[in-house]
């Protein structure tokens, strides 16, 4: 299998941009699925767009990361980091923003809507979801790239068929998430949960929230996590929050009260209590050792 970053050549990207500009990809099929657009997006292009704010759409979005990584934030301040070979599924009306503007990435954006209410409620869910691109997704994207550069005159028709197949496959993946997490093994769930905790260490996240992110009950996830990491989820969350606080304490231009606020504590006293409980010393004492 060709690595994700090599799936789309420059020629394929240019052809896709041309089709996007001419709105030749937008179409609807008999299942009531309407493709809004399918286009490439690179980090350098994203940074040149002014006034990028928290926003939402009336349609579904799927972002496929070909290379690099991109971090998104939702309205509730949850962070989702998507790496090469992964995708982010964003349902309608889900507010989000790309927050990691310093990173380098290449991604493909597929957007679509459902005009058939029955199809929409049956196939798609309302959750923002991050997953791993399986062989079907990679093969389909590879086929799309090949069609784009073939120049046989039928690329638009073939491309649309590939995209409809991809959408239906993605829908199946999202609806079966609680059963198999798109085929991800247990260690993959733990890895993704750890990354979610690390990304959101500045706020007080619960075990239930992390468990929901990998589509397990709190009890199931707690057992799985402890088996893999030999520590509880609660302890790992506390460790990550302290690690984040330590980095902030390294900047002596920031007061401890400001750090407490940044870390979502109600006041400096509660932050001091938390830090001392986990680390054995107060934030002020730790700062003096740096």
21 and 137 housed in the same domain: yes
The boundaries of the domain holding residue 86 are 4-181
CATH assignment at residue 198? 1.10.10.60
Averaged pLDDT for residues 95-103 = 76
How much is the pLDDT for 250?
95
Residue with tokens 């690690």: 243
How much is the pLDDT for 150?
80
Question: How many domains does the structure of the chain reveal?
Answer: 2
Give the model confidence (pLDDT) of 179-234 as tens digits.
444 445 567 889 889 999 999 999 989 998 898 888 777 888 999 999 999 999 99
Contacts 24+ apart (CB under 8 A), 234-240: 234/207, 236/194, 236/197, 237/197, 237/201, 237/205, 237/207, 237/210, 238/274, 238/278, 239/278, 240/197, 240/198, 240/201
Give the CB-side neighbour count of residue 210, counting CA atoms within 13 A: 30
Query: What would the two tokens of residue 89 be?
Result: 């599924």
126 and 24 housed in the same domain: yes
Averaged pLDDT for residues 253-276 = 96
172 and 209 housed in the same domain: no
203 and 266 housed in the same domain: yes
141 and 240 housed in the same domain: no
CATH assignment at residue 163? 2.60.120.10
Averaged pLDDT for residues 280-284 = 96
Nearest to 285 by CA among 241, 240, 246, 243: 246
38 and 118 housed in the same domain: yes
123 and 144 housed in the same domain: yes
Of 166, 181, 196, the residue that ends a domain is 181
Give Cβ neighbours of residue 157 (< 8 Å, ≥ 6 apart).
none
Tell me if residue 68 falls in helix, strand or coil.
Answer: strand
In the predicted model, is pLDDT for residue 48 greater than 60?
no
How much is the pLDDT for 130?
83
Of 181, 197, 224, the residue that ends a domain is 181
18 and 139 housed in the same domain: yes
How much is the pLDDT for 262?
95
Distance between CA atoms of 151 and 78, rounded to whole angstroms? Answer: 43
98 and 85 housed in the same domain: yes
120 and 98 housed in the same domain: yes
How much is the pLDDT for 166?
86
Annotate 4-60 with DSSP letters as a single string. GGGSS-HHHHHHHHHHHHTT-S-EE-TTSEEEEEEEEEEHHHHHTSS---SB--SSE
Percent of the chain with pLDDT over 90: 32
112 and 237 housed in the same domain: no
- pLDDT classification of 254: cutoffs 50, 70, 90: very high
C-beta separation of 42 from 10 below 8 A: no
54 and 67 housed in the same domain: yes
In the predicted model, is pLDDT for residue 102 greater than 50?
yes
Of 161, 181, 201, the residue that ends a domain is 181
In the predicted model, is pLDDT for residue 12 greater than 50?
yes
How much is the pLDDT for 197?
94
Distance between CA atoms of 136 and 165, rounded to whole angstroms? Answer: 10
């Amino acid at each position: 299998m060709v690595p994700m970053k090599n799936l789309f050549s420059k020629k394929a990207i240019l052809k896709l941009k041309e089709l996007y500009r001419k709105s030749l990809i937008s179409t609807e099929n008999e299942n009531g699925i309407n493709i809004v657009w399918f286009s490439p997006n690179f980090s350098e292009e994203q940074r040149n767009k002014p006034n990028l704010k928290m926003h939402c759409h009336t349609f579904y979005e799927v972002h496929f990361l070909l290379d690099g990584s991109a971090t998104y934030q939702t309205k509730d301040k949850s962070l989702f980091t998507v790496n090469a070979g992964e995708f982010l599924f964003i349902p309608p009306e889900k507010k989000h923003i790309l927050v990691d503007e310093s990173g380098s990435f290449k991604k493909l954006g597929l957007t679509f809507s459902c005009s058939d209410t029955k199809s929409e409620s049956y196939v798609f869910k309302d959750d923002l979801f991050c997953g791993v691109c399986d062989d079907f997704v990679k093969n389909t994207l590879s086929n799309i790239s090949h069609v784009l550069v073939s120049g046989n005159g039928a690329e638009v028709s073939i491309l649309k068929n590939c995209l409809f197949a991809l959408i239906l496959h993605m829908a199946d993946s999202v609806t079966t998430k609680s059963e198999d997490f798109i085929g991800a093994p247990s260690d993959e769930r733990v890895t993704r949960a750890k990354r979610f905790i690390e990304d959101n260490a500045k706020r007080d996240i619960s075990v239930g929230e992390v468990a929901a992110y990998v589509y397990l009950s709190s009890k199931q996830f707690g057992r799985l996590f402890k088996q893999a990491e030999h520590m509880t989820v609660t302890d790992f969350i506390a460790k990550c929050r302290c690690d984040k606080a330590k980095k902030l304490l390294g900047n002596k231009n920031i007061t401890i009260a400001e750090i407490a606020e940044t870390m979502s504590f109600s006041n400096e006293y509660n932050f001091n209590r938390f830090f001392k409980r986990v680390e054995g010393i107060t934030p002020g004492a730790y700062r003096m050792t740096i």
